[in-house]
């Protein structure tokens, strides 16, 4: 797998020497994280090189954010106030992508199906904050702040479709539904952020 990854990266880096047309794609949506059992905000930027009408390849940089809270108890007051511990994960996956398109179907179904396969590497930062709190049952929570850094191999499989509003337009609208494998770790633990991925966006042909 390591050798294959290196080969794909080398080929992708060489694409500017062979490709003429280029595309920029901006997408946003949501993705699920397995261990957190939650969906989060997902933002993606892609720079692609057109090899031919059937095949493109390029680079992708994503931002994946999940905030969540855990209730510790209720603080007396007027009105009573919930006390929560807050956690945020900020993941930055980077990919080399290969995409296969089916342009011959546009005349039949009005959209162009495609499949994107990507491999890459992810960096993730985690922050955790728990305030000092004494619950009514006598439980005491000491103040705690944690910062964690995680990293690791990542991959994705994304079927999608694009729609061009006019043959003369340089813009396409895209939608995709797929899966991203993302399990960054460090010396102490691994967090499985893998899950379903849904996005919509705009493609600009340059």
pLDDT score at 16 = 60
- Cβ atoms of 58 and 46 closer than 8 Å: yes
Q: How confident is the model at residue 8 (pLDDT cuts 50, 70, 90)?
A: low
Q: Residue 4: pLDDT band by 50, 70, 90 thresholds?
A: low
Confidence label for 196 from pLDDT (cuts 50, 70 and 90): very high
Q: What is the arithmetic mean of pLDDT over 67-90? A: 82
For 86-154, the DSSP string reads EEEEEEEEEEEEEEEE-GGGHHHHSSEEEEEEEEEEEEEEEEEEE--EE-TTS-EE--EEEEEEEEEEE
| pLDDT score at 36 | 87
What is the pLDDT confidence band of residue 82, given thresholds at 50, 70 and 90? confident
pLDDT band with cut points at 50, 70 and 90 for residue 71 = confident
Query: Mean of the pLDDT values across residues 133-160?
Result: 88
181 vs 5, which has greater pLDDT?
181
Q: What pLDDT, on the 0 to 100 scale, is given for residue 73?
A: 74
pLDDT, tens only, 100-134:
999 999 999 999 999 999 999 999 999 999 888 77
**Structural domains of the chain in order of their starting residue, each with its CATH number:** 2-205 (2.40.160.20)
SS3 194: coil
């Amino acid at each position: 797998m390591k050798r294959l990854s290196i080969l794909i990266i080398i080929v992708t880096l060489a694409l500017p020497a062979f490709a003429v047309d280029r595309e920029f794609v901006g997408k946003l949506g949501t993705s699920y994280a397995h261990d957190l059992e939650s969906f989060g905000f997902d933002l993606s930027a892609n720079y692609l090189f057109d090899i031919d009408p059937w095949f493109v390849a390029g680079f992708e940089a994503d931002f994946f954010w999940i905030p969540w809270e855990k209730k510790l108890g209720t603080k007396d007051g007027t009105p009573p106030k919930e006390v929560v511990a807050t956690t945020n994960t900020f993941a930055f996956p980077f990919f080399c992508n290969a995409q296969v398109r089916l342009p011959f179907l546009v005349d039949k179904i009005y959209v162009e199906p495609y499949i994107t396969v990507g491999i890459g590497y992810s960096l993730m930062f985690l922050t955790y904050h728990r305030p000092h709190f004494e619950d009514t049952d006598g439980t005491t929570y000491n103040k705690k702040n944690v910062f964690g850094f995680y990293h690791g191999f990542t991959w994705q499989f994304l079927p999608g479709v694009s729609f061009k509003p006019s043959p003369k337009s340089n813009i396409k609208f895209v939608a995709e539904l797929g899966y991203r494998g993302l399990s960054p770790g460090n010396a102490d633990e691994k967090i499985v952020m893998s899950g379903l991925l849904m996005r919509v966006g705009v493609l600009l042909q340059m």
